[in-house]
Amino acid sequence: MKFAEHLAAHITPEWRKQYINYEEMKALLYSAVEQAPSAEHVEPEVSQRYFAKFDEQFFHYCDKELTKINTFYSEKLAEATRKYANLRSEIVETPFDDDKKKKDKSRNILRKKNLPIRKTQELKLAFSEFYLSLILLQNYQNLNFTGFRKILKKHDKLLSSEVGARWRTNHVENAHFYMNKDIDRLIRETEQTVTQHIEGGDRQKAMKRLRVPPLGEKQSPWITFKVGLFSGSFTILVIAVRVFFAPFFYVHFADFWMADQLISLIPFVTDIQYIVCFYYTNNDWYKAKGNVILFKCLLCRISGYAYANYCIEKRIFLRLFIACLPPWFRFAQCLRRFRDTRETFPHLANAAKAVRDISVAPLDCSDQMLIIRMMDDDNGVINRRKKKNIKRKEENPRFMLEGESTDELDAC
């Protein structure tokens, strides 16, 4: 792979403009070679002046790129140093006697300090994100140095000189972004901090948490799709489990979202229950007689008639249970959030809303039963349409044919 492609595949998109402009510098070199005067038609002094003037412009451009990289690297390094200091300040070690340390060796300091679970998770996530930013900055350092080395080597090869190698030695290898090794120190210290204070001395577990995927590695779209599908399904399953056992787990935003979606899907789920029950208990899908009351599903199937209200009236408790479950999940989540945060508002207010939803669930189910009865009533929507069609046939006038008298019509 050419370095230009390698650079494009490994850069951090947000820092795109801060990398060495390798393609532009390469274009300058090829353009200079193509426009150089032919040695066969001009004096050697003319060619020397031409390339000397080009070198002046080219290395001025290199100096601008080097200054840009040094400035950006210094800013990001200072930012990383401040962030590491802030993260370290959040982990204040408490003294423990030797016996307790040996007894609780497998436990980490965060748990010993009885920090809230949310704070512990936030610290772990913060260190993982911080470590990734350090790796990206180290990658930025290596890519830019390699870019300068490649382009200056290409300069010397195309122009048959050694000026590029000398400029690299005097400027690039003495540049702040290359000489400074604080980024390596920060990476080591972050690994040690996570190992000792978050994972209880287990370096393998700490490095697994801090693991960074290979930068720029390309995968097939099918693999990406399967991984995304599996990850998404697994995530939804985990969230669903947490929703079902809401009082026993810390409630995240995804749990709230899932419970709200379940509440909005209550009519859909109860309708699905009615559809499955109705078609299972009806032998003839085109006939449903509401005036035939059969109490057993088996008799429904044998007789060929379906009691239209059977799946609501005889399954009312199942429908109530389905309708009350999502509000109960929401109620339990609100109580758990109140326990963890001790914030009355909005958690207890949301809990009251959930109680309201549970209390109106029987009314919703009875409303659905009333709608079914109204549709199957003698004056209901379905029967009313049939009556209208019959009336239209009865009221349809008959025209007299030629030679036909009214007496003949009366005889008919």
Q: Which two tokens stand for residue 300?
A: 């429904």
What single-letter DSSP state applies at residue 91?
-
Specify the pLDDT at position 305.
Answer: 41
DSSP state of 377: S
DSSP per-residue string spanning 197-232: IISTT-HHHHHHHH--PPTT----HHHHHHHHHHHH
Query: What is the model's pLDDT at position 63?
Result: 95
Task: Give backbone dihedrals phi and psi of 181, rounded to 5 degrees, phi first.
Answer: -115, 20
Query: Which of 327, 312, 132, 117 lies closest to 213 in space, CA to CA?
Result: 132
Q: DSSP for 271-282, please give it.
A: HHHHHHHHHHH-
- Locate all alpha helices (DSSP H) within 160-202, ordered by sequence: 163-167, 176-179, 182-193
Are 108 and 51 in contact by the 8 Å Cβ rule? The answer is no
CA distance 270 to 325: 12
What phi and psi values does residue 372 have, to the nearest 5 degrees?
A: -60, -45
Angle at 182 between CA 108 and CA 186, to 5 degrees: 15
- Distance CA(209)–CA(130), nearest Å, equals 12
Q: What is the tens place of the pLDDT at every residue in 327-341?
A: 888 888 888 888 888
- pLDDT value of residue 71: 96
- pLDDT under 70 in the chain at which residues? 1, 92-118, 213-220, 283-310, 312-315, 361-412
* CA 357 to chain CA centroid, nearest Å: 30
Q: How many CA atoms lie within 13 A of 249 on its CB side?
A: 17
CA distance 266 to 257: 15
Query: How many Å apart are CA 325 and CA 313, to the nearest integer?
Result: 20
Helix axes 117-159, 22-35, angle to 10 degrees: 10
Residues 182 and 85: their CA atoms lie apart, in Å, by: 14
Q: What pLDDT is attached to residue 64?
A: 95
Q: Are 360 and 277 in contact (CB under 8 A)?
A: no
pLDDT score, position 103: 43
- Cα–Cα nearest to 178, from 140, 133, 132, 151: 140
pLDDT computed for residue 304 by the predictor: 39
